[in-house]
Amino acid sequence: MKQLDIRPLAGSLGAEIHGIDAGDMDEETWHAVHHAYLKYLAIFLPDQHITPAQFKAWGERFGPLLTHPYLKPLDGHAPVHELYKGPTDKVVFGGEWHADFTFLPQFPQAISLYSRIVPPYGGDTLFANRYLAYETLPVSYKDLLDPMEALFTITPFYEGNVNLMRNKMGKDVDGGAVHRVVQVHPETGQKNLLACPAFIRNFVGMSEAESRPIIDYLTRHSTRPELTARYRWKKDTLAIWDNRAVYHYAINDYAGMERHMHRLVVER
């Protein structure tokens, strides 16, 4: 396999890949990038200069793309859409630990961003490794959680994002789905923990009140510093992370500044 210039971000997950052009990759390079994606879970390619069409083609390498049900596509380039937070905006999109669309019966494989405008500081994204979250659980918790399912819906944690999408699209966010709490990754076969606070409502067979102490424990456990990585965006960085094995959290710490991303969603 082709050797890439890979620079890990942390011991838990994440890596930058340098020296390749995502808009013009041969098959050998693509397979090496895909291998790095599965290994590091979140990969970042700085200094990319790609058009929306090239961004779409990049995403299609990983799988079919989802046209976002709530956010407006970029004119002429669906399913690419924009994430924009301006100087007067208060709410950030994705400002809680979550895996995208887990409130739907089938949630997507991956999320990809391309940074167009970034603030001079702030606007970082946190990532957490769900493989490690499961692997580091006490055995008693693994035994408890392995057979369990949970209901995932929009929760109060995510109301700011609901209002943001309602204002942009005139649509309410709905949906609700039951998923296994311990997921098995379809490509690696590894177990991982799915209990993100943005969407999990309660465990099947338990009330919300009965579920809350376990959810709170799992959230604290899954996002311990040694299981996470933090990425500071630079302009023209292309990123993709595995939504089947990662939580992410967009930090809202750049009031009065501007952040503009192109985004696409890779289906399974």
Q: Containing domain of residue 63, as a range? A: 5-266
pLDDT digits (tens, 9 = 90+) for 7-48: 999 999 999 999 999 999 999 999 999 999 999 999 999 999
What pLDDT is recorded for position 72?
A: 78
What pLDDT is recorded for position 144?
A: 96
Q: Is the pLDDT of residue 170 over 60?
A: no
What pLDDT is recorded for position 30?
A: 96
Number of domains in the chain: 1
pLDDT digits (tens, 9 = 90+) for 216-234: 999 999 999 999 999 999 9
What pLDDT is recorded for position 67?
A: 84
For 165-222, the three-class secondary structure string (H helix, E strand, C coil) is HHHHHCCCCCCEEEEECEEECCCCCCEEECCCCCCEEEECCCCHHHHHHHHHHHHHHH
pLDDT digits (tens, 9 = 90+) for 152-163: 997 666 655 555
If pLDDT is split at 50, 70 and 90, which confidence band does 151 have? very high
Give the three-class secondary structure for 135.
helix
Q: Are 158 and 199 in contact (CB under 8 A)?
A: yes
What pLDDT is recorded for position 174?
A: 63
> Residue 200 corresponds to which amino acid?
I
Q: Which two tokens stand for residue 32?
A: 């090496």
Whole-number percent of the chain with pLDDT over 90: 80
pLDDT digits (tens, 9 = 90+) for 37-95: 999 999 999 999 999 999 999 999 999 999 877 777 888 898 999 999 999 998 888 88
Find the CATH number of the domain harbouring 169.
3.60.130.10
What pLDDT is recorded for position 164?
A: 57
Give the three-class secondary structure for 152.
strand
Helices (H) and strands (E) in the chain, counts: 6, 16
If pLDDT is split at 50, 70 and 90, which confidence band does 169 have? very low
